[in-house]
Amino acid sequence: MKKLILTIAALACAVGVYAAPDQAAPGQGKKRVMTQEQKDLQAAMVKKYDANGDGKIDKDERAKISAEDKAAMAKAGIMGGGKKKQQ
């Protein structure tokens, strides 16, 4: 009887670990899914601020983003994505 209970408990743990693959390990974040509105806003910001034409906004280009555009991106949920400060 003890072996049966132990076997059932082990199987339950194994199924629980296997059934939850959507929970990424720390530092392994999931890929962000953006809405069409967010994609459009991001494309507009890249077009507006990408001075060197590489399709990305680098550190120097990011420094030139206006406060209004930063607020619009933050409101849309596309601002950030950098490293988080550790407390």
pLDDT digits (tens, 9 = 90+) for 38-81: 999 999 999 999 999 999 889 999 999 999 999 999 998 887 65
Q: Write the pLDDT tens digit of every residue in 4-30.
A: 888 888 877 776 666 555 555 555 566
pLDDT recorded at residue 23: 53
pLDDT recorded at residue 26: 57
Question: What DSSP line would sit under the chain, residue for residue?
Answer: -HHHHHHHHHHHHHHHHHT-TTSPPTT--PPP---HHHHHHHHHHHHHH-SS-SSS--HHHHHT--HHHHHHHHHHT-S--SPPPP-
**pTM assigned to the model:** 0.55
